[in-house]
Amino acid sequence: MIKKQSAHKQPFLLRPLGKADVPEYSEMLYASFNAWYWRHGWGKDYFGCKPRETSIFYNIYNDLTPGRNVAAFDKVTGRLIGACFYHPREYHVSLGIMSVHTDYCGRGVGRALVDYILRFTLENNYKACRLVGSAMNMNSFSLYNRSGFVPRVTYHDMVINVSDHHLKTHVQGEDHVRDAAITDVAGMGDLEMEVSGIKREIDYRYAIVRPGESANERKYPRNVLHASVYENDQRGIDGFMISVRHPALNMLGPCVARSEETAIALIRKELERFKGTWVLLVAPMEKRIMVEQLYKWEAVNVETHLKQVWGEFQCFKGVNMPSFLPETG
């Protein structure tokens, strides 16, 4: 049920973030995530970067769908007290990263942000809103569950510290993996529709480097992203992988594949981007072939997440690995 509280009764103002808000947003995101994970036994900062470097989330999300976020501001002080991104795509809306200032938890800020996004979903005739949320955070789980989101898939959050040892170990199908090209976008969309019942062509296109394009020439921060595809013998696409390497987040995904073996080949090739550092990936728990291979690569469980859906959902007909940057449905 979506509650609509009149604006004059709310102790905060809702509006989109602007560029002038980015420094304050980055500080709030950095502080709120780190504080929560310290309180719940993480034992270290969630973001090990500088606070300002978390602005990469705003930069990429705003490049993809400008202005598609909602933020809460204290009506008296003007202080930013919460924000959430949302990502309308061809057939669904993805509810993205949410943060609430530690001084304002429990005051209805998160609920107001979720209600705003669900109203957008309904008013624009989308049949589903999706998110990937922590299974450890009972407050956020309850917020989404009370709003009508239903858990559909469970995921391991696993970290691999990538060394020469991992890169000397090869798997079947690696030779089918290549860098994605702009001409692959339609095929990537068709594959995701088949496997997951959604598509996000703007996300694939954004992650693909154009031929002859240098990092300094890129309009957007695509130099932190990379995309690869698994091409079968008939020149069709059986899988794709996007990854991000940035001080705020090293992560494999989104990945969509017809089979676990295809997903493993994509993971193995994309690990090469992260030699000498760590990388996070979110693997479906029921895909035991994948999970057992990840354990062989000395992957360590650090958290669990849930795919949660408001509205229609098609069970996955293959492998779907979500990511947090770019956000996925």
Q: What superfamily would CATH give domain 12-155?
A: Gcn5-related N-acetyltransferase (GNAT) (3.40.630.30)
pLDDT at 123 over 80: yes
pLDDT band at residue 106, thresholds of 50, 70 and 90? confident
- Whole-number average pLDDT of the chain: 92
* The predicted structure's pLDDT at residue 2: 59
pLDDT at 54 over 80: yes
Q: What is the pLDDT of residues 55-67, one digit of tens each?
A: 999 999 999 999 9
pLDDT band at residue 211, thresholds of 50, 70 and 90? low
Q: What is the pLDDT of residues 77-95, one digit of tens each?
A: 999 999 999 999 999 999 9
Cis peptide bond prior to 254, omega within 30° of 0: yes
Alpha helices in 75-221 (DSSP H): 109-123, 138-146, 164-167, 185-196, 201-207
pLDDT at 5 over 70: no
* The predicted structure's pLDDT at residue 171: 95
Q: What is the pLDDT of residues 259-301, one digit of tens each?
A: 999 999 999 999 999 999 999 999 999 999 999 999 999 999 9
What is the residue extent of each domain of the chain? Answer: 12-155, 156-304
pTM of the predicted structure, to 2 decimals: 0.92
CB 236 within 8 A of CB 220: no
What topology does CATH give the domain 156-304? Aminopeptidase (3.40.630)
pLDDT at 230 over 80: yes
pLDDT band at residue 219, thresholds of 50, 70 and 90? low
Which string of b and e fits 283-302 if b means at least 16 CB within 10 Å? bbeebeebbebbeebebeee
